[in-house]
């Protein structure tokens, strides 16, 4: 009903202005709108993403936390690394040739670097500098606190590296171990097509001299890697199944001389279908392995006890390429999964800073 002495059209105009103001306020909050549009449908706790295969995994499961899709918009998301000072994770969107930044505080995802040379794996050293493995240039680079990226490795014995994939840093001397399977040399989609000049291998970069040493070429497609909590064991995912009639495996070595030598090669785990990619260890020595192309109910994260027994899974709607533990207590698992990134809180704690 109109107020006495007031024309009905005035009320309509006022309502229109009020509605327009509300719409403007909503549009001024893009993160809220975006987060609501990406949120999964509520599910009954415990979330179906959790799967306990061995009672030992129960202690790492939180019954009242959901799997959350934080963002979508990549073509192939990879290489997440956690920066505890900035409270963000960097990750690569390889086909789009860019690095992205997920902000823990706001949940926003924004471009960090365009034209990243199709970077794949990233990590941070113990001085807070970002290390990236580039596909199209076949290099390992380090971004300092100022200035352009410094090239740490691009050739071995006069031959171009294949396409470095992932890297870890040893805390005692800053030496870097990286894998070189060559995925960025197979398709223009993720790099530059070229013939591989070197065997697929694992390398070590000496922090003091810059010397590059081949640690092993006894692996079909060395992919993601991680240290055990005490840095005495190196785990490397062999995603052989992508190019060889071999199953995907995780291979373990003893770490000698701060990573300058690997001994005692052994098979830690074998996957029946799909392949493992990125790896992370928790403080109890369990290995969390990103898993893709294994199919619904198997894609996500497979968790192995220190004895190699698969004890649990976190299932994701998309194939998972890589992962890292984030947050103040490193108890939140951030997963780069195909076109999206997902997170879930756990009762585990990541063993290492990146």
Confidence of residue 75 (pLDDT cuts 50, 70, 90): very high
Query: Among residues 272, 277, 298, which one has the least CA distance to residue 288?
Result: 277
Residues 112 and 99 sit within 8 Å (Cβ to Cβ): yes
- Output phi, psi for 240, to 5 deg: -55, -35
Q: Is the pLDDT of residue 329 over 70?
A: yes
Q: Largest Cα–Cα distance in the chain?
A: 92
Task: Report the percent of the chain where pLDDT is more than 70.
Answer: 89
Question: Angle CA(325)–CA(92)–CA(124) in degrees, nearest 5?
Answer: 50
The whole-number pLDDT of residue 258 equals 97
- Consecutive H or E run containing 12: helix 8-27
Q: Is the pLDDT of residue 326 over 80?
A: yes
Cβ density class 165-201: b for 16+ within 10 Å, e for less? bbbbbbeeebbbbbbbbbbbbbeeebbbeeebbbebb
The whole-number pLDDT of residue 224 equals 98
Query: Among residues 292, 349, 282, which one has the least CA distance to residue 316?
Result: 292
Q: Is the pLDDT of residue 29 over 50?
A: no
Confidence of residue 39 (pLDDT cuts 50, 70, 90): low
Distance of CA 244 to the CA centre of its chain: 24
The whole-number pLDDT of residue 173 equals 96
CA torsion, points 239, 243, 246, 251, in degrees to nearest 10? -30
CA torsion, points 39, 44, 47, 49, in degrees to nearest 10? -80
Q: Is the pLDDT of residue 338 over 80?
A: yes
The whole-number pLDDT of residue 145 equals 87
Q: Tell me if the pTM is above 0.75.
A: yes
> Three-class SS of residue 277?
strand
The whole-number pLDDT of residue 66 equals 96
Q: pLDDT per residue over 200-252, tens digit each?
A: 999 999 999 999 999 999 999 999 999 999 999 999 999 999 999 999 999 99
Stretch 287-306: mean pLDDT: 97
The whole-number pLDDT of residue 6 equals 41
Q: Is the pLDDT of residue 2 over 50?
A: no
Residues 164 and 195 sit within 8 Å (Cβ to Cβ): no
The whole-number pLDDT of residue 40 equals 60
> What is the pairing mode between strands 176-180 and 167-169?
antiparallel
The whole-number pLDDT of residue 148 equals 85
Q: Is the pLDDT of residue 8 over 80?
A: no
The whole-number pLDDT of residue 32 equals 34
> Three-class SS of residue 177?
strand
Q: pLDDT per residue over 180-213, tens digit each?
A: 999 999 999 999 999 999 999 999 999 999 999 9
> What is the pairing mode between strands 119-124 and 109-114?
unpaired
Q: Is the pLDDT of residue 80 over 90?
A: yes
Confidence of residue 146 (pLDDT cuts 50, 70, 90): confident
**Around Cβ 142, how many Cβ atoms within 10 Å?**
18
Confidence of residue 17 (pLDDT cuts 50, 70, 90): very low
Stretch 257-276: mean pLDDT: 97
Q: Is the pLDDT of residue 143 over 50?
A: yes
Residues 294 and 307 sit within 8 Å (Cβ to Cβ): no
Confidence of residue 151 (pLDDT cuts 50, 70, 90): very high
Q: Is the pLDDT of residue 300 over 90?
A: yes
Stretch 54-63: mean pLDDT: 98
Distances (CA, A) of 68 to 114, 166, 167, 246, 277: 26, 25, 27, 34, 21
Q: Is the pLDDT of residue 172 over 70?
A: yes
Q: Is the pLDDT of residue 301 over 60?
A: yes
The whole-number pLDDT of residue 15 equals 37
> Three-class SS of residue 65?
coil
Residues 79 and 322 sit within 8 Å (Cβ to Cβ): yes
Confidence of residue 353 (pLDDT cuts 50, 70, 90): confident
């Amino acid at each position: 009903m109109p107020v006495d002495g007031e024309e009905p059209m005035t009320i309509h105009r006022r309502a229109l202005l009020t509605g327009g103001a509300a719409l403007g306020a909503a549009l001024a909050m893009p993160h809220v709108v975006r987060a609501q549009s990406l949120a999964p449908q509520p599910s009954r706790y415990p979330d179906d993403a959790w799967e306990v295969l061995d009672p030992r995994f129960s202690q790492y499961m939180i019954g009242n936390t959901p799997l959350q899709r934080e963002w979508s918009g990549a073509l192939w998301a990879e290489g997440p690394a956690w920066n505890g000072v900035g409270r963000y994770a960097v990750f690569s969107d390889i086909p789009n040739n860019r690095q992205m930044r997920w902000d823990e505080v706001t949940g926003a995802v924004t471009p960090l670097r365009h034209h990243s040379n199709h970077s794949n794996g990233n990590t941070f050293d113990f001085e807070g500098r970002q290390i990236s493995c580039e596909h199209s240039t076949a290099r390992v680079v380090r971004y300092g606190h100022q200035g352009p990226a410094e090239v740490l490795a691009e050739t071995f014995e006069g031959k171009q590296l294949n396409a470095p994939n992932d890297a870890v840093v040893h805390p005692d001397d800053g030496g870097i171990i990286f894998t070189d399977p060559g995925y960025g040399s197979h398709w223009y989609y993720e790099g530059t097509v070229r013939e591989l000049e070197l065997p697929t291998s694992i390398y070590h970069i000496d922090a003091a001299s810059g010397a590059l040493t081949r640690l092993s070429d006894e692996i079909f497609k060395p992919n993601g890697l991680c240290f055990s909590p005490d840095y005495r064991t190196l785990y490397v995912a062999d995603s052989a199944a992508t190019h060889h009639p071999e199953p995907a495996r995780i291979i373990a070595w003893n770490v000698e001389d701060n990573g300058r030598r690997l001994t005692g090669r052994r098979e830690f785990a074998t996957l029946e279908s799909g392949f493992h990619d990125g790896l992370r260890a928790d403080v109890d020595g369990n290995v969390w392995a990103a898993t893709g192309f294994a199919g619904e109910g198997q894609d996500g994260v497979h968790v192995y006890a220190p004895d190699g027994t698969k004890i649990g899974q976190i299932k994701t709607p998309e194939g998972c390429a890589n992962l890292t533990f984030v947050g103040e207590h490193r108890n939140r698992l951030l997963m780069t999964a195909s076109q999206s990134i997902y997170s879930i809180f756990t009762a585990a704690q990541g063993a290492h800073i990146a």
